Chain A
Amino acid sequence: MKFVNATLKSIKAIEKVDTSRSLLSRVNPETKLLSLIIVLFLMIFLHSLFALLLLLLFLVVEALLFERGVFAAWLFVPLFTGMIAIPAIFMVPGEPIFHFYFLTATYEGLRAAALLIIRTLIAVTAVTLLTKTTRWEDVIASLELIRLPRVFILILFLTFRYIFFFARIIESTLLSIKSRVIGKEKSTSTWKLYAPLIGNLFVKSYEMQEKVYMSMLSRGFMLTESEKKRDVHITWSYLAVFFALAIVLVGINGGALWQLPL
């Protein structure tokens, strides 16, 4: 069950974001969420390859300065995006550049592939920068900034909270199974051992959801509409950098954002 262990390990990694490690970790989550929105907005609407490359360069410098772990996420980009981008080089009609057997690469195809890969890298880098330097619960709480209903945020948080809760149950159950298994497990017997674990987890989650609802109801959940909003703090100096970047990139882009991305 290497898969289960690997999943548990990655869940733990999400849980343990070190918020004191870099300067970026100390910027409040609301500000980082706003900066991410600006970056994603630019990523979608900029259509100049040069402007997009500059945006990517800015994020790379930010990652080099504050969170180098971001680059690990780049490994998946050629694998998944490449599968879509490479055929585009040959399939998009336009001015021919070179021939590869019976296929013809076009300038337009090459540009489309480059745009796709750069946009993916921008999105991956920006999102990873946020998630590597901000605890998930803070990211979820900061969604209030974009006026997401409080109930939606609470449901998101509950989902997040109980993922870890159930991950701990799985972990301790696996440990208990391991303590009673001698020798190497056969794949068929492994499934016989783990199937009840999945069943138990389902039953436990079903029982818990009712109790959690009771606990919420007993404390007035959804009975009144008067819940106070969280105080939102914005680090304007950090955000100003992104606004300045946006102005420069829009200028390079030719001023007009409202064109088709390609």
Chain B
Amino acid sequence: MTNVGYSYDDHVALKNVTMQIEKGEVVYLIGENGAGKSTLLMILAALYVPTTGTAKIFGKKLTEKLTKDVEIRKKIGVVFQDPDVQLFSPTVYDDVAFAPRHLGDDANAEKMAETAMRRMNIWHLRDRHPYELSEGEKKRASVATVLSYEPEFILFDEPTANMDVKGRHEFARLLHELKEEGKTMVIATHLLGDIKEATRVLVMQSGEVVYDGAPDVIENDSKLKSLGLL
């Protein structure tokens, strides 16, 4: 993306972001609440169209039309911060099978849903109603809704929020597995302790990317320290 900006009416959420994400990268977006992480994530997910600048997703220019392109949707998965946004079907199973059914993989929908649910250890919850689940279970179910259609590019918005210690460990293991599988991932978080799998870190402040680099040097970055981000 080149000089990308995004505004919600009068509020500027993103300013002049220029970046490129390569296949297989695990990028962590770090920043305080309101720094613009979620907005950038929505643009990377091809759900928002930038109000200024240009963005390309899988080589195609991001336009309103592209947000509804089935082939693009098959390649991108988003795990939203609030699982209640993601779980809306009558049963957990229906929610996990939602994407394979809607993205035209009808024949394999059941198998794909079962595989994703077993991977997230929620197969036993398949007939439960999403609102009956605990917060941790909801989070695992919302991850399964994305894994079910095996997208190449997965975006996580605060994935470990509301997770207990065990849940965080399980999520770290999942990220490691997905990285091994060669998935490209972007993970928005405000917790520096979560960046073990990162191949690259972007730090955001007030809608701008103030750091873009390797994760192992981030702790010694004087600019970030001066900004109070470390």
Which chain B residues in 41-59 approach chain A with CB under 8 Å? 42, 45, 47
With a cutoff of 8 Å between Cβ atoms, the chain A residues found around residue B129 in the complex are 135, 137
| Distance A223 CA – B105 CA, assembled complex (angstroms) | 12
Question: Would A219 and B90 count as touching, CB distance under 8 A?
Answer: no
Interface size, B (range):
20 to 34
Question: Would A221 and B102 count as touching, CB distance under 8 A?
Answer: yes
With a cutoff of 8 Å between Cβ atoms, the chain A residues found around residue B109 in the complex are 228
Segment at the interface with A among B79-87, B160-168, B199-207, B208-216: B79-87
With a cutoff of 8 Å between Cβ atoms, the chain A residues found around residue B130 in the complex are 161
In the assembled complex, the CB of A138 is this many whole angstroms from the nearest CB of chain B, namely 7
Given A138-B90, A161-B130, A214-B47, do A219 and B68 touch, yes or no (CB 8 Å)? no
With a cutoff of 8 Å between Cβ atoms, the chain A residues found around residue B103 in the complex are 219-220, 223-224
**A210 closest partner in B (C-beta):** B85
* Contact mask for chain B residues 139-160; partner A; CB cutoff 8 A; 1 contact, 0 none: 0000001100100000000000
Assess whether A73 is interfacial by the CB under 8 Å rule.
Answer: no
In the assembled complex, the CB of B143 is this many whole angstroms from the nearest CB of chain A, namely 13
Question: Would A220 and B80 count as touching, CB distance under 8 A?
Answer: no
**A158 closest partner in B (C-beta):** B88
| Distance A221 CA – B99 CA, assembled complex (angstroms) | 8
Question: Would A220 and B106 count as touching, CB distance under 8 A?
Answer: no
Given A224-B103, A226-B101, A228-B109, do A219 and B149 touch, yes or no (CB 8 Å)? yes
In the assembled complex, the CB of A81 is this many whole angstroms from the nearest CB of chain B, namely 33
Assess whether A8 is interfacial by the CB under 8 Å rule.
Answer: no
Give chain A's interface residues, CB within 8 Å of chain B. 135, 137-138, 140-141, 154, 157-158, 161, 164-165, 208, 211-212, 214-224, 226-228
Give chain B's interface residues, CB within 8 Å of chain A. 42, 45, 47, 67-68, 70, 73-74, 76-78, 80, 82, 84-86, 88-91, 98-99, 101-104, 106, 109, 129-131, 145-146, 149
Return 24 A-B CB contacts under 8 Å, by A number.
A137-B90, A137-B91, A157-B89, A157-B90, A165-B131, A211-B82, A211-B85, A214-B80, A215-B85, A215-B86, A218-B77, A219-B98, A219-B99, A221-B102, A223-B70, A223-B102, A224-B70, A224-B103, A224-B104, A226-B102, A226-B104, A228-B101, A228-B106, A228-B109
Given contacts A220-B70, A220-B104, 5 further A-B contacts (CB under 8 A): A214-B85, A215-B88, A216-B98, A219-B145, A223-B102
